[in-house]
Amino acid sequence: MKLNTSRISQLLFLALFLLLFVRTEYRGQDEINAAVNGFFRADPLVLVSYLLAAKSWTWLLLPALLMVAATMLLGRFFCGWVCPLGTILDLISPRISKRSPLTALRGNLKYWLLLPLLSASFFGLNLSGLLDPIAILLRGLTFSFYPVLGMAAQEGWVKLYHLMGERRDSLAPAYHLLHDNLLPFRETTYPLAILSVVILVGVIALERYEARTWCRHLCPLGTLLGWLGRFSLFKRLPGGLCGDCGQCRELCPTNFERDILASEDCILCLECQHHCPHQRVSFRLSAPFHGAGPLLPERRVLLGGISAGLLLATPLRFRRPDKVSRLLRPPGVRDEDDFLKKCVRCGECMKVCLKNALYPAAWQAGMEGIYTPVVIPRLGYCEYNCSLCGQVCPSGAIPRLPLEAKQREVIGKAVFDKNHCLPFAKKIDCIVCEEHCPIASKAIRSREMEVIGLDGKPRKVKEPYVVDEICNGCGICENVCPLETKAGIEVFAVKNRTPINASGNDSMPVGTSESDLGYH
């Protein structure tokens, strides 16, 4: 395969993406200075959907604004020079035998995907991350391929360790090198892992029909960049196929509809220029919109797409009340609606979660919340001295907070289930939750009570109780509860997520009542 400038750029950005992906992991340090979130912060689809949904600005997305300006000047170069998913498709496509193109994907389908997404964002329903190509790639790697790699490496290393016998100690340096720099920090299985890999493999499988089928006919980011690229000052000359050749049609990875390369389809890969047998193709400065053609094939597509977004914005917000009580968000998230408008659904926060507390939501938050992070205390807990999730969040949906401030953020409140908790149900001592509570003054305490045991005799039992005013809902109590399956103490969502007092004392914050805590 001959390497031209665009191909070299693609390979470098793919290598950077994979390097940052591997480094977006706990590697023994409390700070992650370089994360794969940089790709999302330069993603114009993330920027536009954020602005439409949140109706606010964040400097975290300044790179995306610069990418918009560069696209309006140069054209849709991101798809042909930067996009890691596009690079993977270009590397795989020549090795896949082609069938007849899928005619059902041609025409206006890409507009019917992008326009409802943008329209729904304007009405407060931000689902763009579900179809963003970088998010699709990252979710497939995070939830499926990377955990499988870690488990396979672990099992393979164990077998190799046994085979080496007395010489196995010589393997230790190599294992530590891999574990510290490449493999996942901990083994985790995620819900929606199969769905994530099916979507990613489906995008790749479309290469059986045309090169870059996803990019041509479906990708909402590519469609948006194509619109922005219509302002470009650089145009391909000649604009169509030469009458005596036509080889560009075979070389172009995007589209030569009606023998003309539309400006919104050109990804500036330069394949036609490098391989033109007559050296006729060039890219030169030209007037904006010159030869761009109509913005949309039909007006009804624009109106229909906007209407579809409006119609989706209301029903997809439905949430089952019994699920909302256990809908726990990462630390620092205080407003559910604001969080959903900003979340990219990339999965980075779940990947770095030190104690396996975060998992992608399936139906807990309704259709609107699919793939957003939720805390499941029975599977993991929020480490008191960890703030990694806020560091890697690309859009600030999970705010980046100093550790001291993060420790005071309220995720939920712990509540004892007296039908299961051992001191209440079995009349025996158990203070496991109190011992593990990370708050210095202890949000879970116990008091000695005179009770009647199950044998009918009076006895003294240490009954635990929760100090609501200093409990931050980290979930460690529910996680370490020795009962099987259902814990004797559970963390529930609260209406008021105001941070607990910095002093950590037991006085109730001014203006706080029991009803504010979300339970009776």
Q: Is the pLDDT of residue 172 over 90?
A: no
Give the tens place of pLDDT for each residue, 289-306: 555 555 666 788 888 988
DSSP string, 360-400: E-SSTTTGGGTT-EEE-TTT----TT--HHHHH-SSSSS--
Average pLDDT over every residue of 384-397: 96
Whether 328 and 374 have beta carbons less than 8 Å apart is answered as yes
Q: Is the pLDDT of residue 506 over 50?
A: no
Give the tens place of pLDDT for each residue, 439-485: 999 999 999 999 988 888 899 999 999 999 999 999 999 999 999 88
For 421, the token pair is 């908790």
Give the tens place of pLDDT for each residue, 61-85: 999 999 999 999 888 999 999 999 9
CB-CB neighbours of 243 under 10 Å: 7
361: left (phi over 0), alpha (psi -120 to 50) or beta: beta
For 431, the token pair is 């203070």
Average pLDDT, the chain: 87
Average pLDDT over every residue of 17-33: 92
SS3 category, 104: helix
91-95, 477-481, 509-513: segment of lowest average pLDDT: 509-513
Q: Is the pLDDT of residue 163 over 90?
A: no
Confidence grade of residue 406 (pLDDT, cut at 50, 70, 90) = very high
Q: How distant is the alpha carbon of residue 257 from its chain centre? A: 35
Whether 184 and 74 have beta carbons less than 8 Å apart is answered as no
Whether 83 and 11 have beta carbons less than 8 Å apart is answered as no
30-44, 245-259, 447-461: segment of lowest average pLDDT: 245-259
193's CB contacts (< 8 A; 6+ apart) are 143, 144, 147
191's CB contacts (< 8 A; 6+ apart) are 359, 360, 362
Whether 197 and 92 have beta carbons less than 8 Å apart is answered as no
Average pLDDT over every residue of 356-368: 90
Which phi and psi (to 5°) does residue 332 adopt? 100, -15
Location of structure tokens 């996680």: 479
pLDDT > 70 in the chain, percent:
90
The pLDDT assigned to 520 comes to 30
Q: Is the pLDDT of residue 16 over 50?
A: yes
Location of structure tokens 């790709």: 39
Q: Is the pLDDT of residue 50 over 90?
A: yes
Confidence grade of residue 508 (pLDDT, cut at 50, 70, 90) = very low
Whether 498 and 509 have beta carbons less than 8 Å apart is answered as yes
More confident residue, 256 or 46: 46
The residue type at 197? V
Location of structure tokens 């999302």: 40
Average pLDDT over every residue of 347-358: 95
More confident residue, 485 or 13: 13
CB-CB neighbours of 7 under 10 Å: 20
Rounded Cα–Cα distance for residues 20 and 14 (Å): 10
CB-CB neighbours of 91 under 10 Å: 14
Q: Is 445 exposed, middle or buried (0-12, 13-18, 19+ CB in 10 A)?
A: middle
Location of structure tokens 């439409």: 52
Confidence grade of residue 285 (pLDDT, cut at 50, 70, 90) = confident
Rounded Cα–Cα distance for residues 372 and 359 (Å): 8
Q: Which H or E run includes 52?
A: helix 44-54
